[in-house]
Amino acid sequence: MAVNLAAPKPETLLPVTGVTLGIAEAGIKKSQRKDLLVIKLDDGARVAGVFTQNRMCAAPVIVTREHMATGGIRALVVNTGNANAGTGEQGLAHARQTCADLAKLLNCKAAQILPFSTGVIMESLPVERIAAGLPACLADLRTDNWLNAAQAIMTTDTIPKAASRRVTIGKAGVTITGISKGAGMIHPNMATMLGYIATDARVSQPLLQKIVTYAAQRTFNAITVDGDTSTNDSFMLIASACADMPEISDAASVEYAALCAAVTEVAGELARAIVRDGEGATKFITLQIEGGASDDECRKVGFAIGHSPLVKTAFFASDPNLGRILAAIGYAGIDDLDVGKLDLYLDDVLVARGGGRNPAYQEADGQRVMQQSEITVRVVLNRGNSAVTMWTCDLSHDYVSINADYRS
């Protein structure tokens, strides 16, 4: 069902020196599926991340934040099938236990392990099954295991999500490879459910954090499937520092700009893959909001359109019922919006001008665009110079079916 999205070919996913990945079938929720992943980092790697803003954040998110403060991270461990969220003190104990179990096998401290979980909320994490699966993950550790890793973190995803780039920074060749998961409960407010990107670049810790924040804002934080912000959102950026290059430590340097752009490109591909694989999605919608007084108000307009069940069902039906988009813009929360200045385009078709229907607009033109699987909605607010691009999908019968059946 994913919209113009195929699984990446394994050979397109470039290994990142200093980063190995191992997966296992731990039987956390279902048997005979990959559900446990260990990402092992060589000495000297740095890790930065952004996390869900949901106040009900999951136990592993709390523990990961604690351990990030210590530094010297040696491994990340990720399970699917259970989110370990809404699990209180016992959930925290379970997340710490998993870190301790893996630390023992890697001969390091529990605080050097970052735990992540995804899956159903408010059920107890089966820590024994995870502990039993860890040796198999370690036996499987390889640099070319990215596609299997992407498969091991899927929940309702239908297609594994991974992307890779190779860029030259200064005189060095630098690799960036990442994976993500997510299809529902997607309205990331920091990052998608789970995203991991690694690079072999050498970059200072403050700039690594700066890059992950920059990239998240323009990619994972610019998508929505259903407006539900997950309890487990985490987007981690790893720099193994294995590339033969001077450390990037100046935010004004061309080297910083090149690395930031490349990471954002990989993150963008991963984020858009989540929307293309959105639960029940049949259309991929790009929202281009222009002429805003601030990025923030452009984002409000984008999310109002992207969250509206009425807009989303109209896309599903290929029905150019475009007044619904105007209504969503109107309630986006811009108190002093002058709708009389508003223009609305569907791809190249000018639908509304000055807040009303464009006299030259023909229903047949709107109909033609609505039937495409990829559609750009362009809103021109004509009140400033800010612009944002966001991505969403339609709302179909399958969304309801998938989420009515998820646990059964």
Cβ neighbours of 228 (radius 10 Å):
14
Smallest gap, in angstroms, from Cβ of residue 392 to its own copies? 13
Cβ neighbours of 71 (radius 10 Å):
11
Smallest gap, in angstroms, from Cβ of residue 38 to its own copies? 26
Cα dist. 146→8, 23, 102, 265 in Å?
Answer: 10, 10, 20, 18
* Radius of gyration of the CA atoms of the chain, in A: 22
Judged by DSSP in three states, 143 sits in: coil
20 catalytic per annotation? no
Cα dist. 56→68, 97, 220 in Å?
Answer: 20, 21, 19
Q: For its own copies, give the closer residue by CB, 171 or 407.
A: 407
What is the 8-class DSSP label of residue 142?
B
DSSP 168-213: EETTEEEEEEEEEE-SSS---SSS-SEEEEEE---B-HHHHHHHHH
- Which candidate in 87, 192, 229, 282 is catalytic? 192
Residues within the interface to its own copies (CB under 8 A): 53-57, 83, 85-91, 120-124, 184-185, 187, 189, 226-231, 307-310, 313-314, 316-317, 319, 321-324, 326-332, 334-335, 337, 339-340, 352, 354-357, 395-397, 399-401, 403-408
Smallest gap, in angstroms, from Cβ of residue 83 to its own copies? 7
Q: What CA–CA distance (Å, rounded) separates 158 from 21?
A: 21
Residue 201: which of 268, 142, 255, 252 has the closest Cα?
255
Cα dist. 16→13, 19, 139, 164, 198 in Å?
Answer: 9, 6, 19, 10, 7
Q: For its own copies, give the closer residue by CB, 286 or 403.
A: 403
Distance of CA 320 to the CA centre of its chain: 29
Smallest gap, in angstroms, from Cβ of residue 374 to its own copies? 19
73 in Cβ contact with 47 (< 8 Å): yes
Q: What CA–CA distance (Å, rounded) separates 6 from 158?
A: 10
Q: For its own copies, give the closer residue by CB, 70 or 373.
A: 373
Q: For its own copies, give the closer residue by CB, 200 or 279.
A: 279
Q: For its own copies, give the closer residue by CB, 251 or 310.
A: 310
Smallest gap, in angstroms, from Cβ of residue 297 to its own copies? 12
Cα dist. 32→7, 133, 152, 160 in Å?
Answer: 20, 12, 11, 17
Q: Where are the beta strands (DSSP E) in 220-295?
A: 223-224, 234-239, 284-292
Q: For its own copies, give the closer residue by CB, 48 or 314.
A: 314
Smallest gap, in angstroms, from Cβ of residue 380 to its own copies? 15
Smallest gap, in angstroms, from Cβ of residue 338 to its own copies? 8
Q: For its own copies, give the closer residue by CB, 100 or 121.
A: 121
Query: Catalytic residues, which ones?
Result: 192
